[in-house]
Chain A
Amino acid sequence: MMSVVPPVWTVTVLSFRTSLRGIRTLALAAFAAVPTLILLALVAARSAPGVLGNEAQTLFLILTLPVVVIVVMLILAVAQFRNEIDDDTLTYLASRSIPRGGIVVGKYLGSVAAASLLLVPAALAPVALAVAAGAAAPPAGVVGALVAMTVLACVAYGALFLLLGLLTSWALLYGLLLGFLWEELLRRLPGSVPHLTIAFYLRSLAADLVTAGPLSGFPTAVPTFDAVAGPVLAAVVFLAVAVAAIRYVELVPERTSA
């Protein structure tokens, strides 16, 4: 039986290339650079170096993670299936011998890779800028935490939004509700309710990895293993549902003539 890996790899590369082309990529990169631009504004306003260092991390927590990552992932992940179904180009992949689940996995890997390429530098740039402007080197674990949180966010949100894009043409609305309302509102509720959000685990990871500064201040952190396992498990579940669902989903635009 022919290996399924090379076709899945081809779909991954195709998805990666599709995700990183055109004006859309420039717009996403510009949006991802907003935290860096804000820090640049603070540098220009001659803020104290100590303030810059903390601001760089705070911007990640209040802007990069809850807004920039969600926006970028929502666009890239939903587009994997929704755009191709609407454009009727998915037919070329679906009519090939690659298993449908392989298409899901390939598109997921490609979109996560593309998003990580855009977002990891965007997450690190403010910290680097702060250091360049005279701030002290960030505390131990900050760089690792930023990278880990960003990649894990791409992994988890990517799977969720990919699933939405596959299942419904209302993926945008549901993605906005889940990404901005669910994640932000439930995270602030007491008890175990925040455990139902991906953001809870990401912030816990920061609190586990970083010993000082804004990133370390999450009050109800869970162990590092749980903080990583949570988003990964969520991604695995969403992806498994997508792999199962694509066997039953009809991959045609909503309006189809006979």
Chain B
Amino acid sequence: MTAVVEALGATKRYGEVLGLNGFTAQFGPGITGLVGPNGAGKSTFFRLLAGQLRPDAGTVTMLGHPAWGPSAFRRRVGYCPEHSAVFDWMTGEDFVTTLLRVDGYSRAEARERTQRALATVDLVDARHRRLRAYSKGMRQRIKIAQAIAHDPELLLLDEPLNGVDPVGRSRLLTLFGDLARSGHHLIVSSHVLYEIERLTSEIVMITNGRALAQGNVHQIRELISNRPHTIELTTSDPRALARALSEWEHVTAIEFPGPGRLTVLSRTPAEFYQRLPEVVVKSGIDVTGVRGADDNLDAVFRYLSGFG
């Protein structure tokens, strides 16, 4: 995989506090989620990518260029910062147009691109309003508008859904998916894991300034061998099914969370799923639902970070 963004041992100190601590990760094509709790180093990493901070050690490269250095390549990069500060006195249209002109677009082209970007984030009606009158969600959308207006190859989105209402979130998540499908690369950070899961299964996990894991979330889950997988079953006769399953060596525990439900902990879920139909057919027990309860980002993150 050719990395679009690569960090090699990136370290950033704020006095005695380590914002990033030898952070090494590769971000490939498509959408990659950067997940971690508050204070993990996500925004520090984004600021390194945006060229606002210089790494104290290590390197950070984007599209083959060092993030701290000449800025000509930044025409191919769009950045949506986490904070909500904007030029309060400007109108939304003015804000996006001005930044496009700073990128070197002519007045006419900047206006045209601004209209398209505002339409994409549904802010056309509010384009003549001053940014100080924008709600938090509108500010978030105008920041995204200025990030996408110049059609960048790479988008850096730091907590892009902060403060956005549920309908807006859904629209933005759809937009991000469309951008990825049309060939753009996105790095999206969030501490809200289910949002990232909706977007992508390619993640980089960060905590305490270090990379915890990276790759496909399901593959990562497979690698966490010290945590048996939790599988939830819905059945007409939990106890009978439990008796049958308890003979399997890879089943480490069975719980009865409620009527008609069974929770099984298995060290080898692949084998479990393979043999389950055989048990169902032999015993004649109805099994109406099977779900891997912890084959998800939240569980992976909790297991790896020790927060769960």
Is there a contact between chains A and B in the complex with CB atoms less than 8 Å apart?
yes
List A residues at the B interface (Cβ < 8 Å): 1-3, 6-7, 10-11, 14, 18, 21-22, 87-89, 91-100, 248, 250-252, 256-258
CB within 8 A of B71: which of A11, A99, A252?
A99
- Min Cβ gap A62→B in Å is 36
Asked whether B104 lies within 8 Å of A7 as measured between CB atoms, the reply is yes
Asked whether B52 lies within 8 Å of A95 as measured between CB atoms, the reply is yes
- Min Cβ gap B185→A in Å is 16
Stretch of B37-45, B118-126, B241-249 on the interface side = B37-45
CB within 8 A of A252: which of B20, B42, B53, B86?
B53
Asked whether A99 lies within 8 Å of B70 as measured between CB atoms, the reply is yes
Asked whether A2 lies within 8 Å of B104 as measured between CB atoms, the reply is yes
Asked whether A258 lies within 8 Å of B40 as measured between CB atoms, the reply is yes
Given contacts A94-B51, A257-B43, 15 further A-B contacts (CB under 8 A): A3-B104, A11-B102, A14-B102, A91-B52, A92-B87, A92-B146, A94-B50, A95-B52, A96-B103, A252-B47, A256-B14, A256-B43, A258-B17, A258-B40, A258-B209
Complex Cα spacing A89 to B86, Å = 6
Counting contact residues on chain B (CB < 8 A from A), the size range is 35 or more
Asked whether B79 lies within 8 Å of A95 as measured between CB atoms, the reply is yes
Asked whether B40 lies within 8 Å of A10 as measured between CB atoms, the reply is no
Complex Cα spacing A11 to B73, Å = 19
Most buried by B among A1, A18, A87, A96: A96
Complex Cα spacing A3 to B77, Å = 19
Complex Cα spacing A1 to B71, Å = 13
Q: List chain B residues, Cβ under 8 A from A7.
A: 101-104
Please report which residues of chain B, range 80-106, place their CB below 8 angstroms from some CB of chain A when the two chains form the complex.
81, 83, 85-87, 89, 98-99, 101-104, 106
Complex Cα spacing A7 to B99, Å = 9
- Min Cβ gap A16→B in Å is 12
Q: Is B181 at the interface (CB under 8 A from chain A)?
A: no
Q: List chain B residues, Cβ under 8 A from A88.
A: 81, 83, 85
Most buried by B among A7, A11, A98: A98
Q: Is B139 at the interface (CB under 8 A from chain A)?
A: no
23 contacts across the A-B interface (CB closer than 8 A):
A1-B72, A6-B106, A7-B103, A10-B101, A10-B102, A21-B89, A22-B89, A88-B83, A89-B85, A92-B86, A92-B87, A93-B102, A95-B74, A95-B79, A96-B102, A97-B71, A97-B103, A97-B104, A257-B39, A257-B43, A258-B20, A258-B39, A258-B40
Q: Is B19 at the interface (CB under 8 A from chain A)?
A: yes
Q: Is B75 at the interface (CB under 8 A from chain A)?
A: yes
- Min Cβ gap A210→B in Å is 41
Please report which residues of chain B, range 17-49, place their CB below 8 angstroms from some CB of chain A when the two chains form the complex.
17, 19-20, 39-44, 47
- Min Cβ gap B61→A in Å is 16
Complex Cα spacing A90 to B174, Å = 29
Q: Is B54 at the interface (CB under 8 A from chain A)?
A: yes
Asked whether B103 lies within 8 Å of A98 as measured between CB atoms, the reply is yes
- Min Cβ gap A134→B in Å is 43
- Min Cβ gap A143→B in Å is 35
Q: List chain A residues, Cβ under 8 A from B81.
A: 88, 91
Q: List chain A residues, Cβ under 8 A from B86.
A: 89, 92
- Min Cβ gap B10→A in Å is 12
Q: Given known contacts A2-B104, A258-B41, is B53 in contact with A96 (CB within 8 Å)?
A: no
The residue in chain A whose Cβ has the minimal distance to the Cβ of B95 is A92
Most buried by A among B53, B71, B146: B71
CB within 8 A of B75: which of A21, A91, A97?
A97
Q: Given known contacts A10-B102, A22-B89, is B44 in contact with A256 (CB within 8 Å)?
A: yes
Q: List chain A residues, Cβ under 8 A from B70.
A: 99
Asked whether B47 lies within 8 Å of A256 as measured between CB atoms, the reply is yes
Asked whether A100 lies within 8 Å of B85 as measured between CB atoms, the reply is no
Q: List chain B residues, Cβ under 8 A from A251.
A: 52
Most buried by A among B14, B89, B102: B102
Q: List chain B residues, Cβ under 8 A from A89.
A: 85-87
Q: List chain A residues, Cβ under 8 A from B14.
A: 256, 258
Complex Cα spacing A90 to B20, Å = 22
Q: List chain B residues, Cβ under 8 A from A256.
A: 14, 19, 43-44, 47, 53
